[in-house]
Amino acid sequence: AIGLVFYDKSPRHVDVESALAIVNALPPFINRVGLFVNADSSFIDEVLCEVPLDTLQFHGDESVAECTQYAMPFIKALRVNQETNITQMADDYHQASGLLLDAFNKDTYGGTGEAFDWSLAKVDIDLPIILAGGLNPDTVAEAIKQVNPYAVDVSSGVESSPGIKDIDKIKQFIHKARS
């Protein structure tokens, strides 16, 4: 999958024109995920009219109703700390394709490179868990060993600078994730 960040406060933010160019360059069978943070439905509708996305990822404080109104697969991201009730959130967002578990940061929504206590992710829920937060080539193997997630999500952990991916770090990350 590839994530396209439609959140203008992120260094990874893409506009609709850039997102369309990226999507058009992808080989077949790559899941195109649009990431939104507390976006207005009119903005999401605009993006969906222009960019062919397969999945939506809601990384803010979106309600169940906001996530389900598009009648397409979605992932709900949770910012995890000791107070996060992942089991309850899985029940609330049971229509999601999965829950993405990321580190809690009161100032921002993801992409911080911060990890959280992975033992909090060891929950018995019916939804697939996508593990994020602080993952990089040095941490991904241990994270997978501890949590056994359905998938892992990385962004800042494979960058040379904010928003700039490093192909060598990406290759290392994939190798370590598969090992």
Over its length of 179 residues, how does the chain's per-residue pLDDT go in tens digits? 999 999 999 999 999 999 999 999 999 999 999 999 999 999 999 999 999 999 999 999 999 999 999 999 999 999 998 999 999 999 999 999 999 999 877 766 666 677 888 989 989 999 999 999 889 999 999 999 999 999 999 999 999 998 899 999 999 999 999 98
Q: Where are the domains of the chain?
A: 2-178
- Whose tokens are 């060598």? That residue is 168
Give which of 119, 161, 159 is closest to 137, Cα–Cα: 159
Distance (Å, rounded) from C-alpha 76 to C-alpha 56?
Answer: 9
pTM: 0.92
Superfamily per CATH, domain 2-178:
Aldolase class I (3.20.20.70)
Contact 75, 98 (CB under 8 A): yes
